[in-house]
Amino acid sequence: MPPESRRTKDATPAVTESSCPSPGVPWQIWIAVIFLGLEGIGNLLSIPAQPAAATWLAAKILFITGLILGWRLVFIWFLAEGGLHVLAFSMQAPFIAFLNLVLVLLVVSARRYFFPELGRGSPTAGAKKQTSGTFAPEFKEVDRCALDDCFR
């Protein structure tokens, strides 16, 4: 059997940063991007009848770019704009207001992506902090693109 056809421990493919779709972007942002993209297609098709739709399309492109790249200003602007849309459409088109509310809630739930210094609330807030020397050496460094990071 040729050496290249044998399955060895070294032959298993390693998970690299380039093998993930976009490491670190939360799944909530991807759902919001899909919603905004679908709405943007509708805006693109309505530009001939409503020239103002070009502005709406430009805003959606900015929101999609900013949300994926983690721009804080776009995050805050998106939440303000989404909140206004929820209030504005609540009486005229309740379903549209509900969709905007879902988008706002999805993006708010990913706030730690935009503000990592907020940190996560520790379930053991009053517990004694462990030192790094107490862990096994193989658990000291975590791969940036582990399955949990790719799919959260």
Within 8 A by CB and 6+ apart from 92, the residues are none
Q: What is the C-alpha to C-alpha distance for residues 72 and 69, in angstroms, rounded to an integer?
A: 9
- Does this model's pTM top 0.75? no
**HEC secondary structure over the chain:** CCHHHCCCHHHCCCCCHHHCCCCCCCHHHHHHHHHHHHHHHHHHHHCCCCCCHHHHHHHHHHHHHHHHHCCHHHHHHHHHHHHHHHHHHHHHCHHHHHHHHHHHHHHHCCHHHHCHHHCCCCCCCCCCCCCHHHCCHHHCCCCCCCHHHHHC
Phi and psi torsions of 139, nearest 5°: -105, 5
User: pLDDT tens across 64-85, in order?
Assistant: 999 999 999 999 999 999 999 9
User: pLDDT tens across 81-101, in order?
Assistant: 999 999 999 999 999 999 999
User: pLDDT tens across 29-57, in order?
Assistant: 999 999 999 999 999 999 999 999 999 99
Confidence of residue 24 (pLDDT cuts 50, 70, 90): confident
